[in-house]
Structure 1
Amino acid sequence: MPKEPTKPAKKRTSSGPPAFQVRFANITAEEAAQGLKKTSERQNITIPPRSLASDIQLKELWLTPEQRSAIDALNVSNAGLDAKFYVNGDQEQQSQYEAAALMASHGLDLDSREDNGNRWSVKWSTSKDGGRTKRVLLQCDCGYDHRQAGSRKRRTAVDFTGCLAHAEITFIIETQKILRVRGFLEHNAACKSALMQRIPALPLHPSVYQAALVQLANGVSLTDIQQRNREWVASGGEGLIPKHGKDWKYRWLLQRYDTRSLYRQYSRLHGVKLSEKPHINLDEWLNPNSPQYNSTLASAIFHYSKRAAKDE
């Protein structure tokens, strides 16, 4: 008798969870050190393992000891926001809708933060994954204690209420797509009812900084730079300054407290990293193997030797 034809095996259909889900994975020290990216067939940019395993940089927030203790207690009890992940792939569009809704509802989106009445301020940021992803840590202005920052005068628009709200956002720089939001987004009662007590500080317009930097490079004194700035503003600022003050989103007058930022930018443009120790800057200029090597400066130095190591 002829054999019955063999029936093709049925393909197993998956009834499990969708292709993308949040799960915990053990990451070796070697993987974390190399910054390997967790990828899938449809997902090519995500949070690097080192960032994935890291804690929120709470040390970058300006908090009182009481606030730090309260936040530590929240973390122990898991009362904060569970890390919300927004993935690429099949669920990308829906997940980004959810991310946009969360950000907008808490005033964390960029448009809301550009509003003068917004209470979120960036306290720390870092770029990872070869400059493709960025982490930004924000703190509620009502939770910012200016005394902890070493300032005698409070310039923040609202008073200090001890608010614990803070948020860390991880996103893709090129597309602005959100990868993760975490933190504690609940404001205390005093913060919710707080009214604006001071006019919020407006940022200085970039054109004012640019003009001041050019003058500094040409050897113009700070006093003369401020005088020229006042004359420029009085003449209408070449049409750049809005006629009505209510339309101002920037300041146009160069104030005394702007000089610190001005000199920092000027130093950065000339290769001076003020966040680094002086001897590190010096070595970067005079070390032929350094990307910041300055041949002109090196030729003017009779002899240079880097700082000796401990075992030398």
Structure 2
Amino acid sequence: MTSLQLTDIPPHPVLHKKQAVVPIKQLFLNKTQLSQIESIYRDKKEYIVEYSESNAHHQQEASQVLQDLLLDRPSRESLDSRWTIRWSTKSKGKGKKWQRTLFQWYVGSKTIWTCIRPLTIISKCGYDERVRQERDAPANTGERQVPYDFTECMAHVEVSEYVDSRVVRRIVGMLEHNEKCEAAKMVRLPSVPLHEDVYEMALAQLNEGASMAAVQARNQQMLAERAYLSLQGQSPFNKSANCRYNIDTKDFQTIYRKFTRSRGVDITMKPEQNLDNWLNESSPFYKPELKSAIFKYAPRFDSGSRLVVCIATSDMDEAAWKYTHKKQLLLDGTFGVVSSRMLLFIPMGVDENSKGLPLAFFLFSAPGGTKATHGAYDTTIIRDLLTRWRDHLGVRNREAFEPYVAITDCDTRERSALLAVWPSIWLLLCKFHLRQCWTSKRKSLLKGTTFWKEHVQRCILNLEQRLLESDTHDIAVQSIAHETSYLQSTINDASTSADMKNLSRKAITYLEYLSAQWMHVDMWTSWSQKGRSLASVRIGVPLESIVPTTNHLESFNFVLKHKFINQRKHSGQRLRFDIFIHLLVKEIIPEVYYRRYVYRMAARAFLRELRRRGLGES
């Protein structure tokens, strides 16, 4: 291609007072290229021509420029198109729709037009492959696939044109190519893109929750049956065609990118950059629905800070006041939800049908250098998040939001945080997690399959059940003392075998562990029947209404990971946190609350029908 020189076309006067800045950082450039291009724009040495919409000579000239640049419509859609689209945006509001499109020079691929915007997801010869991998696909360190080697060519063009008429408004950029680019020769065969019909069917399947394996299997079936509309009467392996129909494993990433982009997430950008753009009102990617749902956002500035995102929609706020204010709160955390080292804590309430409802989502990253993500939090971070949630909920009827009872697992960090935010809250321990602690300790001490071991274990299990059901601390302590005395008597008995004495000593060690760790009055009250009785009195509900475990939360965590998230995974990999946040606000939370609404409406209809029949019978 012969470079188009700046002197070939005289510039026109500026037609628009406000000049849109070319987003050169959207290009894939190494440091040298970026520095040189920034210098050219700073010195105003770039090529820039504006065209009048009503001037036929201007439009004819613009068409000739695009044709010389190989940016006319046929050249863009050709398989051997020499430009790739790095960025595009459309005007909003009423009137004529116009579009700005930024092209970067490369050789050997086809521009793919999607329902959202045109794009090409293929390596370019105008940028270093290492730059693309660092920004776009850090996990993909494969070899360069571009037909031409990297030449540090800085050629790029932004074209502003009306969407319907294709009338050109402006052409700006750097049109010259360096000597290496001019002399470059093809060293690899160019990639052949998939047909749009294949992408359309694949995206439809993914929207229905299909896996990529199912997408590929369906593709093979449709190929065999010639089921694609554009394939009828043609061979799927036509060598002269500018596209192909068979999905290969190398196409999975492109399909996944198209899918996430159709959902409103651009995964060519870093997740933290996406999130910041969504919440920044001055950004063209601003999403007000996410902004309104996120009441706390703190970006991560260095290795010692945390990325924090706290989410609560208006429905969740209403549920918090209705089901948790002066009532019971469940709090628990989980990890392994997203690909980054982040933890998720969820406060939950229980509605009138004993169904758990998530009231907020606290997502935060682990500090730099943390080895175990599940333990990368302390009382301070949980206290701060609960405080922000309390302040977000505000005051109603002159009362600040305050749960009277909370239930957690056996982690003291969560309990300390709850007490710091609500000093008068009554804390209960989850019986399931409590029994897990007891069982783990018991199994570490009592081993073997002898009769005496089974006998001792049955005695201890019966003791544990009596402790859980105890209503008086002194009686609970006496129960442990009684079992200890019995075991001590077997040790003192001369006729007892050495193995039996050894097992008895280990059983006494376990009872000492119970006494030291779990039988302090405050701790005993938090997990015994006494604690639940006091909680029921404080809330003013029957004893059976007090939730004894965090199973509601555990169940929701399972559904969140294996139902809502699992079908959105790409080849079994965990979601990026920006995709998870977008999915949470746009799909998961609305679905959870809509199902609850449908369930409530069905229950009311059922009750009305019962009343109607009862009145009819009377």
TM-score under structure 2 length normalisation: 0.37
The alpha carbon displacement at 1:166 in A equals 0.7
Alignment partner, residue 70 of structure 2: 107
Moved more, 231-240 or 111-120: 231-240
Alignment partner, residue 252 of structure 1: 245
Residue 59 of structure 1 pairs with residue 25 of structure 2:
yes
Aligned CA distance change for structure 1 residues 161 and 174 (closer, same or farther; 3 Å): same
Aligned partner of 1:102: which letter? V
Q: Which runs of 5+ in 1 are unaligned?
A: 1-20, 24-45, 290-298
Q: How is 1:179-198 mapped onto 2 (pairs within 5 angstroms)?
A: 179-198=169-188
Alignment partner, residue 5 of structure 1: none
In 2, the alpha carbon distance for the partners of 1:231 and 1:245 equals 18
In 2, the alpha carbon distance for the partners of 1:168 and 1:162 equals 19
The alpha carbon displacement at 1:138 in A equals 0.8
Aligned CA distance change for structure 1 residues 177 and 301 (closer, same or farther; 3 Å): farther
In 2, the alpha carbon distance for the partners of 1:253 and 1:163 equals 33
Contact 2:293 2:314 in 1 (8 A): no
Larger radius of gyration: 2
The alpha carbon displacement at 1:169 in A equals 0.7
Bigger helix fraction: 2
In 2, the alpha carbon distance for the partners of 1:126 and 1:301 equals 42
3-state SS of 2:104 partner: strand
Aligned partner of 1:100: which letter? S
Q: Which runs of 5+ in 2 are unaligned?
A: 1-11, 107-124, 134-140, 268-273, 280-289, 295-310, 316-350, 363-387, 393-618
In 1, the alpha carbon distance for the partners of 2:25 and 2:175 equals 18
Alignment partner, residue 261 of structure 1: 254
Alignment partner, residue 148 of structure 1: 131
Residues 144-190 of structure 1, C-alpha deviations (whole Å, 9 max, x = no match): 22210115422222211111111111111121110000111001122
Contact 1:241 1:252 in 2 (8 A): no
The alpha carbon displacement at 1:254 in A equals 1.1
Alignment partner, residue 134 of structure 1: 99
The alpha carbon displacement at 1:264 in A equals 4.2
Aligned partner of 2:50: which letter? F
Alignment partner, residue 22 of structure 1: 13
Q: Number of residue pairs matched?
A: 253
The alpha carbon displacement at 1:107 in A equals 0.8
Contact 1:273 1:281 in 2 (8 A): no
Aligned CA distance change for structure 1 residues 301 and 156 (closer, same or farther; 3 Å): farther
RMSD: 3.5
In 1, the alpha carbon distance for the partners of 2:291 and 2:246 equals 33
Aligned partner of 1:93: which letter? A
Residues 211-243 of structure 1, C-alpha deviations (whole Å, 9 max, x = no match): 223333455432232133234334545544743
Aligned CA distance change for structure 1 residues 237 and 306 (closer, same or farther; 3 Å): closer
Match of 1:283 among 293, 300, 310: 293
Aligned partner of 2:13: which letter? V
Moved more, 152-161 or 101-110: 152-161
Q: Which has the higher contact order (CA 8 A, sep 6+)?
A: 1
Moved more, 128-137 or 53-62: 128-137
Aligned partner of 1:64: which letter? N
Percent identical pairs in the alignment equals 28
In 2, the alpha carbon distance for the partners of 1:241 and 1:199 equals 28
The alpha carbon displacement at 1:76 in A equals 4.6
Aligned CA distance change for structure 1 residues 273 and 74 (closer, same or farther; 3 Å): closer
The alpha carbon displacement at 1:252 in A equals 0.8
In 2, the alpha carbon distance for the partners of 1:203 and 1:282 equals 40
Contact 1:283 1:306 in 2 (8 A): no
Residue 84 of structure 1 pairs with residue 49 of structure 2:
yes
Match of 2:357 among 278, 302, 305: 302
